[in-house]
């Protein structure tokens, strides 16, 4: 007589997911996918999952009004994770660039002459090696999939957490309607971003580090759909050779995001008032005065309300202390925050969510699952951090260093891995 598969250790348990961003949502979808498709365990009751996010469902343009890169180069690509949970087709339908291999990452000089074009082969089974997609579209795909599994409690913040003597986790939640309350769970997945309140409560010394570079950017609006060339069909970075870099990418058919960067000894505060944003836009124009191509037109088409300023900050990733905090798991930016120069944050978040869901399903204890998860998540986060620092150096190179790199750009192949697309 055949024996039934064993019951799963998370069956009938309660999981709190702090953060309904890319990583947190990917985790919920991944765990549910494993639960409903794998024959490894008997089909017991799916865990009770409480998802909360400090933002409301409709977030501001400043948070969502840009595009990001998803790659499908290897097993660590975000497109691989989307494929594994059955959401790849939905993402491809929303892609801005990438389904055509000619729309690959470019690097230009100050005159917008092409220095480098990166084209890679996709990982096994994928139709493309990379796409650009609006963050809002990717998040909406994940929200739609998640809301079929569990309710998302918008406008609710997880402010702190601690493990209890019985092995459960006590979480403090705060929202405007209910106020502050305590909840308990069997597992807390901290996916609350670079400025994680959970990380601050249990790892107070683990802070972000400023990397000496500030970006000023905004969104150029082109209502007629006449994005300037070559940003109408590709994306990339202009390297001036004078210590100034400029990233550009389409956001949709009528807008494009740009971000000019230079080295600054101290971080800057983001502009808040209308006057501050107008001043920042004027400063960006002055900093990038050597840049030709689409830059002047992009500046002219930018609504000051979309202007942002980002000090490049990141932090070292960490492995979890399975002998200590065994029931609090940090994924995405809460563990390994990266600056915009990484170009890989969404890929890390998607893969973190997928891998944690898979490992929790495959292993018989949370401790074993987290140990196995860290062996995947930590190395790729370290690699991304290192490459982001190299990109900063390239973007702001001057003099002989820039000239030497320009020669290297002619070969190009050694730089492909830096850009991950």
Report in angstroms the alpha-carbon separations of 41 from 86, 186, 235, 405. 21, 19, 45, 54
Looking up residue 339, the CATH number of its domain turns out to be 3.50.50.60
Predicted confidence band at 421 (pLDDT cuts at 50, 70, 90)? Answer: very low
Q: What is the pLDDT of residues 298-335, one digit of tens each?
A: 999 999 999 999 999 999 999 998 667 679 999 999 99
Question: Do residue 239 and residue 341 come from a single domain?
Answer: no
Q: Within this chain, do residues 263 and 299 fall inside the same structural domain, yes or no?
A: yes
Structural domains in the chain (count)? 2
**Angle, vertex CA 293, rays to CA 395 and CA 297, nearest 5:** 110
Backbone angles phi, psi at 415, to 5 degrees: -90, -15
Tens of pLDDT along 27-57? 999 999 999 887 766 556 889 999 999 998 8
Contacts of 175 (CB under 8 A, 6+ apart): 153, 155, 156, 157
User: Taking a C-beta distance cutoff of 8 angstroms, is the pair 244, 290 a contact?
Assistant: yes
User: Burial code of 37-73, b = ≥16 C-beta within 10 A, e = fewer?
Assistant: eeeebeeeebbebbbbbbbeeebeeeebbbbbbbbbb
Nearest to 139 by CA among 152, 127, 130: 152
What is the predicted pLDDT for the residue at 405?
81
Q: In this structure, are 269 and 332 located in the same domain? A: no
CA-CA distance, 357 to 137, in Å (whole number)? 22
318, 335 contact by CB (below 8 A): yes
Give the number of other CB atoms < 10 A from CB of residue 269: 8
For 69, the token pair is 């890169």
Q: Is residue 46 part of a domain?
A: yes
Per-residue pLDDT of 240-292, as tens digits, reads 999 999 999 999 889 999 999 999 999 998 898 999 999 999 999 999 999 99
60 against 90, higher pLDDT? 90
**Distance (Å, whole) CA 166 – CA 155:** 30
User: Is residue 106, in this structure, part of any structural domain at all?
Assistant: no
- pLDDT computed for residue 406 by the predictor: 80
How crowded is residue 155: how many other Cβ atoms within 10 Å of its Cβ? 15
Question: Would 275 be classed as within a structural domain?
Answer: yes
294 and 407 within one domain:
yes
For residue 243, give the 3-state DSSP assignment: coil
Say if residue 187 is in the same domain as residue 299: no
* Domain hosting residue 285, numbered range: 211-313+395-419
Give pLDDT, residue 414. Answer: 47
Structure tokens at 62: 């400043």
- Phi (first) and psi of residue 69, to 5 degrees: -100, 130
Q: Is 118 among the domain residues?
A: no
Same structural domain for residues 51 and 151?
A: yes
Answer whether residue 117 is part of any domain. Answer: no
Examine the domain organization and report whether 41 and 130 are in the same domain.
Answer: yes
In a domain, 413, yes or no: yes
Question: Are 270 and 283 spatial neighbours (Cβ–Cβ below 8 Å)?
Answer: no
CATH label of the domain that carries residue 280: 3.30.9.30
pLDDT of residue 43: 55
CA dihedral 348, 83, 144, 335 (to 10 degrees): -10
Cβ contacts of residue 89 below 8 Å, gap of 6+?
A: none
pLDDT digits 0-9 by tens, 89-117: 999 999 987 655 445 789 999 999 998 88
In sequence order, the 6+-apart residues with CB closer than 8 A to the CB of 126 are: 72, 77, 79, 80, 83, 88
pLDDT of residue 359: 97
Mean pLDDT of 161-181: 92
Scan for tokens 């409903």, then name that residue: 36
> Are residue 201 and residue 64 in the same domain, yes or no?
yes
- Confidence at residue 204, expressed as pLDDT on a 0 to 100 scale: 94
What distances in angstroms separate CA 220 from CA 116, 131, 215, 312, 415, one per listed residue?
24, 21, 16, 22, 29
CB 188 within 8 A of CB 199: no
Alpha helices in 147-215 (DSSP H): 197-202
Domain match, 77 and 133 both: yes
Task: Determine whether 223 is exposed, middle or buried from the number of CB atoms within 10 Å of its CB (0-12, 13-18, 19+).
Answer: exposed
Residue 112 lies in a domain: no
What average pLDDT does the chain have? Answer: 90
Indicate the helix (H) or strand (E) that contains 15. Answer: strand 14-18
Reported pTM: 0.92
Residue 136 and residue 242 share a domain: no
Look at residue 286 and tell me if it is in a domain: yes
What secondary structure does DSSP assign to 67-129, as a single string?
Answer: EEEEE-SSTT-HHHHHHHTT-HHHHHHT-SB-SSTTS-EEEE-TT--EEEEE--PPPTT-S-S
275 and 331 both lie in a single domain = no
User: In sequence order, what DSSP letters do the residues of 303-349 get, joined into one string?
Assistant: -GGG-EEEEEEE-------TTS--SEEE-THHHH---GGG--HHHHH
Within 196-254, strands assigned E span: 209-221, 235-239, 244-252
Instruction: Give the 3-state secondary structure percentages of the chain, helix then strand then coil, rounded to 5.
Output: 35, 25, 40
Query: Based on the domain organization, do 56 and 70 belong to the same domain?
Result: yes
Backbone angles phi and psi of 381, in degrees to 5: -70, -40
Provide the H-helix boundaries in 177-329.
197-202, 274-287, 295-300
């Amino acid at each position: 007589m055949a024996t039934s598969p064993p019951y799963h250790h998370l069956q009938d348990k309660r999981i709190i997911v702090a953060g309904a961003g890319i990583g947190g949502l990917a985790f919920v979808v991944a765990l549910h996918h494993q639960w409903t498709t794998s024959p490894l365990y008997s089909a017991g009751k799916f865990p009770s999952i409480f998802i909360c996010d400090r933002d409301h469902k409709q977030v501001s343009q400043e948070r969502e009004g840009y595009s990001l890169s998803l790659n499908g180069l290897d097993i660590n690509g975000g497109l691989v994770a989307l494929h594994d949970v059955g959401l790849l087709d939905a993402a491809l339908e929303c892609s801005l660039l990438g389904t055509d291999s000619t729309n690959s990452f470019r690097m230009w000089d100050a005159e917008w002459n092409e220095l480098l074009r990166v084209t890679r082969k996709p990982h096994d089974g994928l139709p493309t090696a990379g796409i650009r997609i609006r963050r809002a579209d990717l998040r909406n795909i994940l929200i739609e999939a998640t809301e079929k599994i569990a309710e998302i409690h918008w406008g609710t913040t997880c402010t702190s957490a601690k493990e209890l003597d019985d092995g459960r986790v006590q979480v403090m939640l705060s929202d405007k309607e209910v106020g502050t309350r305590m909840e308990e769970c069997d597992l807390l997945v901290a996916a609350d971003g670079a400025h994680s309140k959970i990380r601050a409560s249990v790892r107070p010394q683990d802070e972000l580090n400023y990397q000496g570079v500030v970006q000023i950017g905004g969104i150029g609006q082109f209502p007629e759909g006449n994005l300037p060339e070559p940003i109408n069909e590709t994306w990339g970075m202009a390297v001036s050779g004078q210590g100034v870099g400029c990233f550009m990418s389409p956001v949709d058919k009528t807008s494009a995001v740009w971000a000019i960067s230079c080295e600054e000894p101290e971080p800057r505060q983001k502009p808040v008032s209308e006057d501050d944003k107008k001043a920042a836009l004027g400063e960006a124009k002055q900093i990038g005065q050597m840049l030709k191509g689409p830059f002047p037109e992009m500046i002219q088409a930018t609504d000051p309300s979309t202007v942002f300023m980002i000090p490049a900050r990141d932090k070292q990733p960490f492995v979890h202390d399975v002998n200590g905090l065994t029931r609090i798991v940090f994924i995405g930016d809460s563990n390994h925050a990266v600056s915009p120069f990484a170009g890989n944050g969404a890929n890390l978040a998607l893969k973190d969510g997928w891998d944690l869901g898979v490992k929790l399903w495959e292993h018989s204890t949370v401790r074993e699952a987290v140990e196995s998860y860290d062996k995947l998540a930590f190395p790729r986060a370290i690699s991304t951090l290192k490459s982001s620092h190299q990109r900063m150096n390239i973007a702001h190179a001057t003099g002989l260093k820039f000239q030497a790199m320009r020669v290297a750009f002619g070969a190009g192949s050694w730089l492909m891995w830096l850009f991950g697309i």
